[in-house]
Amino acid sequence: MNDLVSVVVPVYNVEPFLKKCIDTIINQTYTNLEIILVDDGSTDLSGQICDEYKKIDKRIKVIHKDNSGLGLSRNVGIKASKGKYIT
């Protein structure tokens, strides 16, 4: 299988955990990934961390939006995805 897989990660004030989360996704053995980080109006450094990772890995796409909750953030990420599979 070599299909594009979209990984949607809603992000809201998860600064202490975010780097480990993104590193785990980046380091998967399956590399044909599109990583969509949806910053849902974080008030900590989560949004900045997302932007830093976008500069490091071309597979990462960052969407910043006003806070509207997990469900709407997930839906924004799904709409932006281009993969055959979404997780």
CA-CA distance, 29 to 8, in Å (whole number)? 18
Instruction: Report the length, in residues, of the chain.
Output: 87
Q: Is the pLDDT of residue 66 over 90?
A: yes
Q: How far is CA 73 from CA 17, 50, 76, in A?
A: 18, 15, 5
**Domains: count for the chain:** 1
pLDDT average, residue stretch 70-86: 97
Segment 23-57, tens digit of pLDDT:
999 999 999 999 999 999 999 999 999 999 999 99
CATH of the domain at 66: 3.90.550.10
Query: Is residue 1's pLDDT more than 80?
Result: no
13 is in which domain, residue-wise? 5-86
Q: How far is CA 2 from CA 29, 70, 75, 76, 81, in A?
A: 12, 29, 25, 25, 16
Average pLDDT, the chain: 97
Q: Which helix (H) or strand (E) holds 10?
A: strand 5-11
Name the more confident of 1 and 46: 46
Q: Pinpoint the alpha helices (H) of 1-87.
A: 15-26, 46-56, 70-80
Confidence of residue 64 (pLDDT cuts 50, 70, 90): very high
